[in-house]
Amino acid sequence: MSTLSTSERTRLAVLGSPIAHSKSPALHRAAYRRLGLDWDYDAIEVAGAGLPGFIDGLDASWRGLSLTMPLKQDVLPLLDSADALVELTGAANTVVLHDGRRLGFNTDVGGIVRALGESGVTGVHAGVLIGAGATAASALVAMAELGAAHVRVLVRREGAAAPLVELGRRAGLVVDERPIASLATLGSDEAELVISTVPGGSELGAAPPPELVAGAVLLDVAYDPWPSRLGAAWLDGGGRVVHGLGMLLHQAVLQVRAFVGGDPATPLADEASVVAAMRAAIG
């Protein structure tokens, strides 16, 4: 797929509900400025029921969409093609619009792996995952890419992790479901990595024990409010926390690759300076 000419006015946006808090516009605008592209990137409130009509109404000026909750799964039947990670996770956070076609990508998996790697986490044997939504599916696949053999999924509702148990089978790791209250009884030998995919203001009803905090790294994908309640508990206990903005940054870098060149696996020209500009834009 060829890159669009810099002389063409191009539109992009992040969609979701709620969306006013999103830092994606700051990230993407910084990237396109650094690349010399006069592209517009906005945040637009769209709920699941409104997604088909919104996408159907886009004209040829639109290059792509970033998707947040609850749209990562709602968009699937609207795509003309999907990459392997979308097929595996059942979630697309990126849509490239090209020649009348809608191409779906998942950059959340890569964003998680890159954010953890930046913080020194390059391999995991056992992990804990809190939540069972679309982002949790990407987090589970990211754990598999890091070498995890076993992941425990903590959920509020019994049976909610059933799709993740099946996803784990296909991704080559064992997944078991536990109630979220079991967070309080996890030992330090049960996880090297904990990933929380629940909203930052959520009350989990259980606190992590000191042994777990001391022995496991926490990646909390929530970044507003920060720290989340879980993140605060980890920090107060002297544990290592990977900020949710790290995932947001790195999945956005992969989105920019897709929007500019059509492939999230192909690095941008002078990518290091683009990443630096994006990082500076969100502090």
Which tens digit of pLDDT belongs to each residue from 192-233?
999 999 988 888 999 999 999 999 999 999 988 899 999 999
Assigned domain for 4 exists:
no
Average pLDDT over residues 5-32: 89
Query: What is the C-alpha to C-alpha distance for residues 29 and 176, in angstroms, rounded to an integer?
Result: 41
Q: What is the DSSP string of 120-150?
A: T----SEEEEE--SHHHHHHHHHHHHTT-SE
Position 62 pLDDT exceeds 80: yes
Active site residue 72: yes
Assigned domain for 192 exists:
yes
Report how many domains make up the chain: 2
Q: Which of 16, 12, 13 is nearest to 199 (CA)?
A: 16
In a shared domain, residues 230 and 265: no
Which two structure tokens, joined as six digits, stand for 208? 């992590």
What is the CATH number for 72?
A: 3.40.50.10860
- At residue 8, the pLDDT reads 60
In a shared domain, residues 94 and 138: no
Q: Which of 186, 179, 196, 174 is nearest to 243 (CA)?
A: 196
What mean pLDDT is reported for the chain?
Answer: 95
In a shared domain, residues 155 and 125: yes
Which two structure tokens, joined as six digits, stand for 100? 């009348």
Assigned domain for 113 exists:
no
**Cβ(259)–Cβ(37) below 8 Å:** no
pLDDT band at 3 (very low <50, low <70, confident <90, very high): very low
Assigned domain for 91 exists:
yes
Which tens digit of pLDDT belongs to each residue from 171-203?
999 999 999 999 999 988 899 999 999 988 888
In a shared domain, residues 17 and 47: yes
Exposure string over 198-214, b if 16+ CB within 10 A, otherwise e: bebebebebebbeebbe
Query: What is the C-alpha to C-alpha distance for residues 190 and 150, in angstroms, rounded to an integer?
Result: 9
Assigned domain for 168 exists:
yes
Which DSSP state fits 2? P
In a shared domain, residues 134 and 219: yes
Place of tokens 């790290």: 246
Q: Report strand pairing: 150-155 vs 174-179.
A: parallel
In a shared domain, residues 219 and 130: yes
In a shared domain, residues 74 and 153: no
Assigned domain for 2 exists:
no
What is the CATH number for 180?
A: 3.40.50.720
Average pLDDT over residues 48-75: 96
- Which of 239, 254, 273 is the last residue in one of the domains? 239
How buried is 77 (Cβ within 10 angstroms: 0-12 exposed, 13-18 middle, 19+ buried)? exposed
Q: Which of 239, 230, 236 is nearest to 212 (CA)?
A: 239
pLDDT band at 2 (very low <50, low <70, confident <90, very high): very low
Which tens digit of pLDDT belongs to each residue from 246-279?
999 999 999 999 999 999 999 999 999 999 999 9
- At residue 6, the pLDDT reads 41
- At residue 199, the pLDDT reads 87
In a shared domain, residues 102 and 204: no
In a shared domain, residues 46 and 82: yes
Catalytic residue among 29, 72, 229, 250: 72
**What's the domain range around 181?**
120-239
In a shared domain, residues 21 and 39: yes
**Cβ(85)–Cβ(112) below 8 Å:** no
Average pLDDT over residues 1-15: 68
In a shared domain, residues 56 and 130: no
Assigned domain for 112 exists:
no
Assigned domain for 115 exists:
no
In a shared domain, residues 261 and 190: no
Average pLDDT over residues 128-134: 95
Query: What is the C-alpha to C-alpha distance for residues 50 and 41, in angstroms, rounded to an integer?
Result: 19
Which tens digit of pLDDT belongs to each residue from 41-56?
999 999 999 999 999 9
